């Protein structure tokens, strides 16, 4: 009996000890779980702090590089020009354009930095949209090798940035007047599709129309209706023998024959403000022919602009002899028809404007990229301090 009681008591003691161990075993994981939760919370807080610090550092770095970037497409080109070779002069008659182009970056990039300092901090998204530096310029090519009636691909991209009309408002006190810029667009009359984008450019523009083509008269009519200036793009014989097209003046023609050709062409596309030569390197070297052309212009209250298709032109000396004011081309914009090259030629022309007070740049209707470039740059040029006028305005002001 006593042995049975002891056995029962021993079993109860063993069971009690087992329960205590079980309770202790159950409580232990709770402490570990609490510790693990605390560590996770601290890790999360540390990660959050690191993310905030990284974001702050990124914004500071982006703002720093943003302040060093140029603000316009032309200014971006100028910034690159500081690192690249000097621009090649577009025509041999204007060698001074090289030194002017070299100073382009220093003048305009400085203004870009000053303007950037006044702006609030831009976002990273805006910064990423800035254009990169443009490629180096290519060697000038003679425009007389262009076909008389070219058939380039249709302009399928609509002209941008033409929603607001650009007015020739006086420059503010803080904007320096940098010079007068004239853009002339040659070879209108081949078709109306190529012409249309130029008619939507929001500012003064001179468009020269070739005579004797299927759309010559209609092109001139639409140019006047759009408020642009009309010139006769008078075809003349070239040294290389290229076909200048209908209504051309050839060497060996008498003064009477030259006058008859000019009258017929003016009657076809008039009223006009003046004329410039299409090709014509051979004729513009002929003093007798040039004097006849300039005399006709003076008698009919027309202006003349020398496209300078040859360095041996006698137009300036003949005009001085007759006491007639003329204009002269400084830069051909689209000898190379990619966008980067055309902008570089425009930059070269702007350097001439700042140096001498004015510049005359010529492009062509068959360059698909040219109209969008001009539509985009017109407002920017005016904002920077340039004055845009027609060829007639610049000749009359001499």
Domain boundaries, the chain: 143-396
Q: What is the pLDDT of residue 18?
A: 54
Residue 247, Cβ neighbours under 10 Å: how many?
21
Model pLDDT for residues 278-335, shown as the tens digit of each residue: 999 999 999 999 999 999 999 999 999 999 999 999 999 999 999 999 999 999 999 9
Among all chains, which residue has been given the structure tokens 């703002």? 63
Distant-in-sequence, close-in-space partners of 228: CB < 8 Å, separation ≥ 6: 198, 199, 204, 205, 206, 207, 390
The answer to whether the peptide bond before residue 271 is cis (omega within 30 degrees of 0) is yes
Residue 21 pLDDT greater than 80, yes or no = no
Superfamily for the 143-396 domain: Glycoside hydrolase/deacetylase (3.20.20.370)
For residues 57-85, give the mean pLDDT: 52
Q: What is the pLDDT of residue 31?
A: 46
For residues 365-380, give the mean pLDDT: 96
Helix (H) or strand (E) holding 388, with range, is strand 386-389
For residues 70-76, give the mean pLDDT: 45
For residues 185 and 231, give the distance between their C-alpha atoms in angstroms, rounded to a whole number.
10
Residues above pLDDT 70, as percent of the chain = 61
Q: What is the pLDDT of residue 386?
A: 97
Parallel, antiparallel, or unpaired for β 179-188 and 326-328? unpaired
For residues 59-70, give the mean pLDDT: 58
Of residues 108, 184, 180, the one with CA closest to residue 357: 180
Which segment of 62-66, 286-290, 354-358 scores lowest on mean pLDDT?
A: 62-66
Q: What's the whole-number average pLDDT of the chain?
A: 75
The larger pLDDT score, comparing residue 30 to residue 363, is at 363
Model pLDDT for residues 122-154, shown as the tens digit of each residue: 333 333 333 333 333 333 434 444 434 344 333
Model pLDDT for residues 158-197, shown as the tens digit of each residue: 333 333 333 344 444 566 889 999 999 999 999 999 999 9
Q: What is the pLDDT of residue 43?
A: 76
If pLDDT is split at 50, 70 and 90, which confidence band does 274 have? very high
Rg (CA), the chain: 37
First to last CA, the chain: 142
């Amino acid at each position: 009996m006593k042995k049975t009681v002891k056995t029962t008591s021993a079993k109860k003691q063993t069971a009690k000890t087992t329960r205590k161990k079980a309770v202790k075993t159950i409580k232990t994981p709770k402490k570990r779980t609490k510790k693990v939760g605390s560590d996770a919370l601290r890790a999360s807080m540390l990660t959050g702090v690191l993310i905030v610090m990284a974001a702050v550092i990124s914004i500071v770095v982006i703002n720093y590089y943003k302040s060093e970037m140029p603000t316009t497409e032309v200014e971006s080109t100028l910034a690159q020009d500081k690192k690249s070779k000097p621009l090649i002069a577009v025509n041999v008659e204007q060698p001074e354009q090289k030194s002017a182009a070299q100073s382009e970056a220093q003048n305009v990039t400085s203004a870009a930095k000053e303007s950037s300092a006044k702006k609030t901090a831009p976002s990273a998204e805006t910064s990423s949209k800035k254009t990169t530096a443009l490629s180096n310029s290519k060697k000038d090519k003679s425009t007389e090798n262009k076909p008389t009636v070219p058939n380039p691909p249709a302009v399928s991209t609509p002209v941008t940035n033409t929603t607001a009309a650009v007015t020739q408002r006086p420059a503010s006190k803080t904007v320096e007047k940098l010079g007068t810029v004239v853009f002339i667009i040659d070879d209108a009359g081949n078709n109306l599709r190529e012409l249309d984008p130029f008619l939507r450019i929001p500012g003064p523009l001179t468009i020269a129309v070739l005579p004797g083509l299927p759309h010559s008269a209609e092109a001139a009519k639409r140019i006047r209706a759009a408020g642009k200036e009309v010139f006769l793009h008078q075809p003349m014989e070239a040294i290389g023998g290229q076909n200048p097209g209908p209504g051309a003046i050839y060497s060996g023609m008498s003064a009477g024959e030259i006058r008859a050709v000019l009258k017929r062409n003016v009657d076809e596309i008039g009223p006009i403000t003046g004329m410039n030569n299409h090709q014509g390197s051979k004729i513009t070297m002929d003093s007798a022919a040039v004097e006849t052309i300039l005399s006709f212009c003076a008698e009919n209250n027309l202006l003349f602009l020398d496209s300078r298709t040859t360095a041996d032109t006698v137009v300036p000396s003949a005009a001085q002899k007759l006491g007639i004011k003329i204009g002269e081309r400084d830069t051909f914009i689209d000898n190379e028809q990619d966008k980067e090259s055309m902008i570089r030629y425009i930059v070269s022309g702007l350097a001439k404007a700042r140096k001498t007070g004015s510049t005359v740049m010529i492009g062509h209707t068959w360059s698909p990229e040219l109209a969008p470039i001009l539509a985009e740059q017109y407002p920017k040029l005016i904002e920077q301090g340039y004055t845009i006028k027609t060829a007639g305005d610049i000749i009359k002001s001499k």
